């Protein structure tokens, strides 16, 4: 099912690459991170080329709720306690800079860019709100406590940050992509030193950026243990009260709200990919209870890569690959973190230093509680004696009755009921799936 972003704007089309090419920087992946990297490198005069296995913005980027905000749930109190105030400040500064960059670019692009206040609410935990307000204030952001009266249910309270933003992501991305050197339907099937082999061509490069949502090269970096994937669902409601702010529950399984025109976008029903969750049914029941006169005019789902510590992996792909870089694990906040990734990676590719590289480095410690959870899920998936198996690393796939797909609870690959690949890290269709 298409999102409202995909259904109301003509998409930009690019040819497939059918001849050999060479470039200084090859970018694999045509989502928001890859496109922003290509745009910035071209603007800086760097020779670059982007290839996309399907069509640009056809995956997770086209299914976002498109909030541009520094408010990423309860993160800043955790960052201060885990990494210290300086690293928390750098993370925050990177998000602020990303929002400013969007504001500057969107002055010249008709993409429904609007300034909105951002709210992170909690149903029951007032103490969490107080801690996060204190943390942000200590970092120089004027965060406030709010009762968030626009929400149709009672909450303990919310964290409010003023002057954040929302937009139409595909209007924005198609506008900046149209003049870039991009090849669609060009799938990289093998990677050699300084050379990528695609389905109909070969591309020589000096440096490589992997922006494929979940990194697809398994031999390096350990991303199959450092990441897991989380699904969430969205309804577009017509006839529901619109909201002046953008709202998200601090819980991974909570609800989010934002308005687009006369539509209310209601998100939630989340769960680890391959596990049970509320899905659209939870949202439909909520809408029936709180917005009985609203009409569902759109529904879609998205999938996010989650890291061990809540910070994306942006930087050198692995120690053994000095000229290969990665951007992944945006933890549901892909709009600002994609812009952050483009800033960091463009500096690294050009050989420039950046104060943010250490904060987002993929080489930071993996000794976090989530690592044990990921390892456990992988072990269960590998030992479960059922078919079909995921071609990525061999875990047992689970049938998703809400979406009629086969999903991998280990690493998040997904397939249609006929075996066609939907989401990576798997790279090929499944030859033997039967529902």
pTM of the model: 0.94
Fold of 4-64+170-226+309-360: FAD/NAD(P)-binding domain (3.50.50)
The domain ranges of the chain are 4-64+170-226+309-360, 114-165+227-306, 369-423
Among candidates 258, 259, 239, which has minimal Cα distance to 247? Answer: 258
Among candidates 352, 427, 414, which has minimal Cα distance to 187? Answer: 427
Among candidates 138, 140, 99, 90, which has minimal Cα distance to 118? Answer: 99
What number of other Cβ atoms are within 10 A of residue 110's Cβ? 10
Cβ burial, residue 253 (10 Å; 0-12/13-18/19+): middle
**What pLDDT shows up at residue 434?**
58
Tokens standing for 247? 């709202």
Residue 195 has, within 13 A of its CA and on its CB side, a CA count of 6
Calculate the alpha carbon distances from 3 to 61, 187, 305, 406, 423 in Å.
10, 24, 19, 21, 16
What value, to the nearest 5°, has the Cα angle with vertex 197 and ends 196 and 201?
115
Distance, in Å, from the CA atom of 273 to the CA atom of 212, rounded to the nearest integer, reads: 17
What number of other Cβ atoms are within 10 A of residue 149's Cβ? 8
Distance, in Å, from the CA atom of 311 to the CA atom of 341, rounded to the nearest integer, reads: 12
Distance, in Å, from the CA atom of 269 to the CA atom of 266, rounded to the nearest integer, reads: 10
Distance, in Å, from the CA atom of 432 to the CA atom of 68, rounded to the nearest integer, reads: 41
Split the chain (435 residues) into runs of 10 and give each run's mean pLDDT. Answer: 88 95 97 98 97 94 95 94 96 98 96 97 93 96 94 95 97 96 95 92 97 88 93 96 95 92 95 88 96 96 95 96 96 97 97 96 94 86 80 83 85 82 80 63
**What pLDDT shows up at residue 275?**
87
**What pLDDT shows up at residue 214?**
92
Distance, in Å, from the CA atom of 129 to the CA atom of 95, rounded to the nearest integer, reads: 20
Strand partners, 327: 314
Distance, in Å, from the CA atom of 382 to the CA atom of 19, rounded to the nearest integer, reads: 40
What number of other Cβ atoms are within 10 A of residue 131's Cβ? 18
Which CATH number fits the domain 369-423, given the four candidates 3.40.980.10, 2.102.10.10, 3.10.150.10, 3.40.640.10?
2.102.10.10
Fold of 114-165+227-306: D-Amino Acid Oxidase; Chain A, domain 2 (3.30.9)
Strands 114-122 and 421-423: unpaired
């Amino acid at each position: 099912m298409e999102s409202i972003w995909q259904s109301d704007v003509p998409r930009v089309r690019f040819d497939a690459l059918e001849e050999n090419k060479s470039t200084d920087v090859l970018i694999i992946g045509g989502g928001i991170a890859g496109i922003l990297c290509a745009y910035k490198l071209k603007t800086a005069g760097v020779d670059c080329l982007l290839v996309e296995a399907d069509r640009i913005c056809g995956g997770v980027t086209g299914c976002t709720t498109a909030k541009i905000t520094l408010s990423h749930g309860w993160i800043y109190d955790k960052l201060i306690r885990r990494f210290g105030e300086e690293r928390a400040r750098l993370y925050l500064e990177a998000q602020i800079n990303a929002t400013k960059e969007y504001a500057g670019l969107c002055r010249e692009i008709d993409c429904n860019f609007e300034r909105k206040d951002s709210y992170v609410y909690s149903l029951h935990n007032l103490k969490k709100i107080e801690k996060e307000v204190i943390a942000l204030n200590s970092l120089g952001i004027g965060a406030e406590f709010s009762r968030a009266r626009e929400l149709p249910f009672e909450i303990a309270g919310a964290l409010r940050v003023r002057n954040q933003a929302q937009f139409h992501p595909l209007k924005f991305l198609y506008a900046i992509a149209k003049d870039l050197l991009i090849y669609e339907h060009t799938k990289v099937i093998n990677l050699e030193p300084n050379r990528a082999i695609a389905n109909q061509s070969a591309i020589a490069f000096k440096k490589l950026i992997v922006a494929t949502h979940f990194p697809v090269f398994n031999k390096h970096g350990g991303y199959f243990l450092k990441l897991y994937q989380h699904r969430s669902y969205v309804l577009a409601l017509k006839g529901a009260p619109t909201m002046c702010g953008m709202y998200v529950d601090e819980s991974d399984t909570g609800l989010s709200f934002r308005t687009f025109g006369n539509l209310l976008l209601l998100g939630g029903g989340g769960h680890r990919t391959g596990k049970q969750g509320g899905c659209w049914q939870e949202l439909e029941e909520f809408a029936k209870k709180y917005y009985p006169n609203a009409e569902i005019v759109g529904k879609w789902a998205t999938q996010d890569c989650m890291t061990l510590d809540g910070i994306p992996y942006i930087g050198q792909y692995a120690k053994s690959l000095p000229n290969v870089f990665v951007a992944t694990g945006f933890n549901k906040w892909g709009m600002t973190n994609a812009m952050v990734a483009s800033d960091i990676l463009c500096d690294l590719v050009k050989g420039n230093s950046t104060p943010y590289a250490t904060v987002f480095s993929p080489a930071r410690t993996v000794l976090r509680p989530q690592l044990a959870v990921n390892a456990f899920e992988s072990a269960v998936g590998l030992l479960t004696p059922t078919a079909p198996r995921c071609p990525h690393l061999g875990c047992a796939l689970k049938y998703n009755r809400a979406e009629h797909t086969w999903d991998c609870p280990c690493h998040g690959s997904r397939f249609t009921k006929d075996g066609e690949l939907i989401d990576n890290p798997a790279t090929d269709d499944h030859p033997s799936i039967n529902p």
